[in-house]
Amino acid sequence: MEPTQNSSVSSVGLKSAIKTEANRLGFTLFGVTEPKTPDTLPDFLSWLAQGRNGSMDYLAVERAVARRADPRLILPDVRSVIVLGLRYPRPADLPASAASGLHGRVAAYAWGKDYHDLIPPRLEQLAKFIQSRMDQPLAYKAYTDTGPILERDLASRAGLGWMGKNTCLIDPQSGSYYLLAELFINIRLENDLPFTTDHCGSCRRCIDACPTGCILPDRTLDARRCISYLTIENKGNVPTELRPQLGDWVFGCDICQQVCPWNIRFASPEFDSGLSPQAENARPDLMAALSLTPHDFNRQFKGSPILRARRRGYLRNAAVVLGNFRDARAVPALAIALQSDSEPLVRAHAAWALGQIGGDAARQVLDQCSGSETDAEVLAEITAAQIACQDGGRSGIRAAR
Ligand code: B12
Ligand code: SF4
Ligand code: SF4
């Protein structure tokens, strides 16, 4: 049975009070929609069928797919879904890097605290607020990237914006630097009008700027080639042909949002204080990163989204970016990683990076390690890197560095 509101509160008054409270909690975007099968469910299913989710198997689990299709499997009495947006810093406001050292780039949503920790208590507070206005118990489910729902579909249906060609949810007033969160509730609130217009027009800046060409014409991504996937979700090797495309991205990627005219013109410099940048996490020193022990890594990134990559993924990314910099100052740090890191994944990518840098010092380290390395995959990377060094020497490209 649907719970009744306190007799003194009208449905419109309740929605407006919830919106005010949501704003107070930092959610600058707010909308309400009905819990129905997502309009874009067929797009999601076809995306899965083509394997574009890569190793993100949790997206394809049968139970999770069924829940995406039917919100009642999430909350049987669900009547409305409140969709919220929390603003994070603009990538262009990246803190200045230190004077020396080689620094990588981290996606702006991950500069501060982990939103998976920051947002849920606020959703609980919002639910408590709603409960305080009800005569009967409120049933609810709260999500922020934490459940089997299509958050962008819900957000566009709740009127928050449209799904751009880069697949991000874009608010025409303030761009796409938002994280989404939802509250499924067993009371009915008035729906907002869905966002039905497409403001991308003939623009294709995101498609042209994406370094790996993973933005597809059907408004989905091939996640397997997306730098965000490769540096965060992917737990194995970064495919050799995609390593140069990582550029300096060591965790996530913001390029397809940074080039978007809606962000260039309208993204606000204001963001939630909980997502304030921590300089050393936003622009990390990559040589220092390579020397992080498991204990140091867990301590430095406690409470940060970067923890998700795990130490071996993060150091793998750091090695790739150092390889892309092709700066001989990185050779000693890469040499130590190749000689002594306990993770074959890190050693393999350190070898690749040394091959990219080339020169006598890098070649010597590779030659030494080819005699002592026991892991077959790392040995194969060392051999490929030795060849890359020779090629560099012949062409004279790396000798000049
Ligand atoms: C898996 C995932 C990823 C994967 C795959 C992303 C993708 N685009 O498919 C990877 C790891 C690559 C990724 C990267 C990022 N992610 Co992510 N990710 C998710 C997650 C968990 C599921 C997304 C999903 O189901 N993808 C499958 C595709 C098919 O669905 P979709 O992305 O929702 O896209 C819709 C459109 O393609 C649309 N569609 C299809 N055809 C058509 C045709 C037309 C005409 C239209 C209009 C729409 C349309 O239907 C799809 C389904 O609704 C969501 C949280 C969630 N539960 O929804 C967060 C989420 C989408 N990610 C988020 C963020 C912040 C990011 C990054 C910006 C992080 C970063 N800086 O590195 C990047 C952005 C990359 C990008 N351009 O999308 C936010 C997005 C907020 C926003 N404003 O849009 C979300 C909502 C998390 C959150 N709670 O805030 N992510
Ligand atoms: S996040 Fe980067 S790699 Fe992924 S689609 Fe956007 S520009 Fe391409
Ligand atoms: S860059 Fe252009 S095409 Fe891409 S999402 Fe923004 S407006 Fe749409």
Per-residue pLDDT of 109-143, as tens digits, reads 999 999 999 999 999 999 999 999 998 899 999 99
Return the pLDDT at 99: 53
What tens digit of pLDDT does each residue of 77-113 get?
A: 999 999 999 999 999 987 666 556 799 999 999 999 9
Pick from 167, 212, 238, 249 the residue to mutate for probing ligand 2's pocket: most ligand atoms within 8 Å of its CB: 212
Q: Quote the ligand 2 centre to 363 CA distance (angstroms).
A: 33
Q: Which residues constitute the domain of residue 302?
A: 205-400
55 located within any domain: yes
Q: Is residue 295 within a helix (H) or strand (E), and if so which, with residue range?
A: helix 294-300
Q: Are 93 and 271 in contact (CB under 8 A)?
A: no
Beta strands at 27-33 and 105-106: parallel, antiparallel or unpaired:
unpaired
Return the pLDDT at 17: 97
What amino acid occupies position 150?
L
Do 166 and 212 have their domain in common? no
68 located within any domain: yes
Give the position of tokens 């490209």. Answer: 397
Where does a domain end: 185, 220, 250? 185
Average pLDDT for residues 73-80, to the nearest whole number?
Answer: 96
Q: Does residue 168's CB lie within 6 angstroms of at least one atom of ligand 2? A: no
Spot the catalytic one: 39, 93, 117, 145. 145
Do 23 and 146 have their domain in common? yes
Return the pLDDT at 97: 62
| Number of alpha helices (DSSP H) and beta strands (DSSP E) in the chain | 17, 8
Number of the ligand 1 atom closest to the C-alpha atom of 146: 57
Q: Does residue 212's CB lie within 6 angstroms of at least one atom of ligand 2? A: yes
CA–CA gap between residue 107 and residue 354 (Å, rounded): 25
Do 47 and 138 have their domain in common? yes
How large a percentage of the chain has pLDDT more than 70? 94
Distance spanning both ends of the chain, measured CA to CA: 72
The answer on pLDDT for 396 being more than 50 is: no
126 located within any domain: yes
Q: Are 398 and 357 in contact (CB under 8 A)?
A: yes
What tens digit of pLDDT does each residue of 362-380 get?
A: 999 999 999 999 999 999 9
Q: Quote the ligand 2 centre to 4 CA distance (angstroms).
A: 46
pTM of the model: 0.96
Count of all residues that appear for the chain in the document: 401
Number of the ligand 1 atom closest to the C-alpha atom of 144: 89
5 located within any domain: no
Q: Quote the ligand 3 centre to 121 CA distance (angstroms).
A: 33
Is residue 93 part of the annotated active site? The answer reads no
Q: DSSP letters of 335-358?
A: HHHHHH-S-HHHHHHHHHHHHHH-
Do 175 and 120 have their domain in common? yes
What tens digit of pLDDT does each residue of 139-175 get?
A: 999 999 989 999 999 999 999 999 999 999 999 999 9
Closest CA to 30 of 15, 40, 9, 10: 15
Q: Which one of the ligands is nearest to 207 CA?
A: 3
Residue 167 φ/ψ region, left for φ over 0, alpha for ψ in the -120 to 50 degree band, beta for the rest: left
Pick from 215, 216, 243 the residue to mutate for probing ligand 2's pocket: most ligand atoms within 8 Å of its CB: 215
Return the pLDDT at 2: 62
Number of the ligand 3 atom closest to the C-alpha atom of 215: 4
Do 81 and 180 have their domain in common? yes
Q: Which of 6-15, 86-95, 276-285 shows the lowest mean pLDDT across its residues?
A: 6-15
